[in-house]
Amino acid sequence: MLEKPIRLEDLQLENWPNIILWATPVMFLLVFVEWGISIYKKRSSYDTKDFLAASFIGLTNAGISAVIKLAIFGLAVLCYNISPFQIPPTWWSFVFCFVAIDFARYWAHRVSHENRFWWATHITHHNSKLYNLSVSFRLGWTQHIKIVFFVPVMLMGFDPFVFFICHQIAVLYQFWIHTEYITKLHPAIEYFFTTPSHHRVHHGSDAHYLDKNYGSTFIIWDRMFGTFMPEAERPNYGITKPVNSYNPIYLNFHEWSDIFSDLRKAESFKEGWKIVFGKPGDEVIKNREESKRQKTVSRSPVLEEVMEK
């Protein structure tokens, strides 16, 4: 253990580099460049309302991040102080921390697609029918609770500054893979790293593309855990039940609203649990009502008479 635990106020967070904030003007510039290319090539890669919705969502999300910054790093400091290990901020600790964060991001991302509660925090990122650089701005306002998936990384004893920098780089990496204008890269890159080709598959709503390619920076996790799929035909983007809205509030909370609506119809704790924590797309209420209907039909005297004949 440290002889003298570090304190949050000693970190002087206001002096730490905000890489994402610095990169924001460049990201918007690249969005407009891509938009210009789309117009020049007469491709419908952008829609003004979709772009404005994505920008509003992204900027609001940045504001939320700023508000909860102290709480997040208070957690990071607590984990660092109680960890039995304290890893000094060296070049190799940045490398190991980045890999650890990416591993945690894989599982956080995977759970966010395979569990409806967590899917509600992530669906905003997928509910656009388009695929362009501005889609990277669409990060759900409730997605910050996924910090719990990174507590094990914090407890590994990485310096909070190292965690802060690596986390920012990991988030920033996501920007460039949201484009259709970068095709497949060198096979060695495609094998180890998540590329636009891999991530296009991830954003596809086609049945064979669903729940694939969760990797954030390294696609190797998908290869290891059986969730990898190479890109073949161009995906149809969006979610399986499209939302026809550009309202940022609706885009962030429509799945939460659906969950609460389904919960009001639940007839047991078990059914409620399935509604909240089951796989997204499982129509618990509809299946129960269909089961009841079939039982009613099977017990119908008229049907029994027909069956006897």
Contact 211, 222 (CB under 8 A): no
Query: pLDDT class for 215, splitting at 50, 70, 90?
Result: very high
CA distance 31 to 132: 8
Q: Which pair of tokens denotes residue 230?
A: 């190479």
pLDDT grade for 291, boundaries at 50, 70 and 90: confident
pTM: 0.89
Q: 211 and 227 in contact (C-beta within 8 Å)?
A: yes
CA-to-CA distance for 59 and 24, rounded, in angstroms?
10
Please check whether residue 248 is in contact with residue 128, taking contact to mean a CB–CB distance below 8 angstroms. no
DSSP class of 213 = -
Asked if pLDDT for residue 94 goes beyond 60, the answer is yes
Report pLDDT digits (tens) over 232-260: 999 999 999 989 899 999 999 999 999 99
